Structure formats: structure tokens, C-alpha cells
Homo-oligomer: A and B are copies of this chain.
Amino acid sequence: MSSEEIGLSRRGLPNQFVDGLQVLHPDKKLIGRALTLQLMPVRADIAEVDAAEWKAAGNQRPRDHQTALNMLQPGDVFVADVGGSVASGGVIGDNLAFYIKTNSAGFVIDGAIRDLDGIAPFVDLPGYYRGATPPAIHNVMVTGINIPVRIGAATVMPGDVVFGDREGVSFIPPHMVQGIVDEAQITHLHDDWTKMKFEQGKGKYVSTDIYSRPSDPALIKEYEDYLKEKLGPKAYDDYVKRRGQRQ
């Protein structure tokens, strides 16, 4: 599956893909559930009241970004909205990146990480971030954990399925995942067949003979037979039905 196959734009969700972030490991795909953290520029008047309430509620240590990290479960993606600020310092460095790797699926930080040199070569983890800078996170306060946040120009809900590849990150409503996976399989087969025909038809076919779909009846039949064989008759029939309903 790839960002393109997910195709949130085609599915009426044009805002759910984010690019422009740095990609820690372009060869690794990120997939998991969003645990969200919102950090806003600190203001002492609010931070003090919040801290007092937090302590009065029986919490032993202050509420900060590690409060969210402590909540990570296997399969979670740590999604931190720092408003794109790199100047506020790195939310995680090598130690916390290692913690994320050990306990969850990856991270998306619309802000900075730090100690890139202690992370990139050693921590084998899919991650996305705005920039890398030595100082630790500062000048911010937690304004919410597992609330809706803005990452780039996307709205992320806690529990969203997060998918990342070298193109960027998609935030997917969970109820749409099954449909996307089904469709991605068809797209995948379609693309395999298309490339196979381009390979075979070098110098014989022009691009529109095959892509996005053939118009020659023999080629149409060949494609449908290929699909049926790869999917099996049951899944093929289901697909044909879905396709019919869309038209």
C-alpha cells in the first residue's frame, strides 16, 4: 500500500495527507493508531493554574510531553502538534526515540526532534518531523492529550489510522480502512498488469492503449481475466458489483 493507493482525496477527504515533513527512514512504512498530543507556546499564567489542578488531581509528576509518551501502547503512533515550531526544541531525542521504538509503532511530530545523529543510524523506526535541533523541548505547555490536533493542514483525531511512506503521512478514519485495503489490492493488481503490458508492448503500445484503462476489447478481456485469476472468483464478483454500483 502507498499514499497514492490510499487516495483520501478521491474519497472525499482532501485534507488528510501531509507532506513537507522530514522522513527519518524513507524505506520504512509507518502504520498504526494515532495517540495525539497538543503543545502550545507556554504562558506562565495558564501553565501555573494547569499545574496546580494536575497536582490536585493526584498526579505525582508534572504533565508534559512524557505524560503522553507514557500512555503509548503497541501499535500506537505518537502524533505531536507543536504548531510546526523547530525553535521550541526537540520533543524527543535518542532515548525517547528508542522508547517509542520499543513500545509503539512510530512518530509524527509537527515540530523538532533532537540528536538526529543518535537516532538516524541506530533507531530503526518510521518517523516524521519538521526539523532537527540540539536543544530539548522548552517554551511550550501541554494543552491536550488525545484531542483533535492540526498536523500541517490535516485534522488528526485520536484513534485515526496513520499511514506514512516516503511521500508523506495520511490520517485515515478507522471505519474507512477496510474499504481502502480492498481498493488498494485492486489498484495494485491494476498497476502490475499495466506495467506488464508496457513491458511487453514496448514500441507497440502508446500509453493510452493501456492506461488508465484499455479500450481495445481483447485487452479489456485480458485485464478482466487477469483480475479474476488473481483475486479468485468470489472476490472478483464482489469487486465487479462494487464497481457497478459506483457507475
Contact = CB atoms under 8 A, between A and B. Distances in A.
A66 B118 contact: no
Q: How large is the interface on A (under 10, 10 to 19, 20 to 34, 35 or more residues)?
A: 35 or more
B102 A167 contact: no
Contact of A166 (B19, B116, B131): B116
Contact of A70 (B3, B5, B27, B208): B208
Contacts of A166: 116-117, 120, 132
A55 to B, nearest CB: 15
Contacts of A120: 26, 166
Contacts of A96: 207, 211
A161 to B, nearest CB: 12
A191 interface: yes
A92 to B, nearest CB: 10
Interface in A157-173: 157, 165-168, 170, 173
Interface string A84-103: 01000010011110110011
A244 interface: no
Contact of A46 (B5, B148, B203, B208): B148
A42 interface: yes
Interface in A124-172: 131-135, 139, 141, 143, 148, 150, 153-155, 157, 165-168, 170
A233 interface: no
Contact of A40 (B40, B83, B150, B167): B150
A114 B157 CA distance: 26
A13 B43 contact: yes
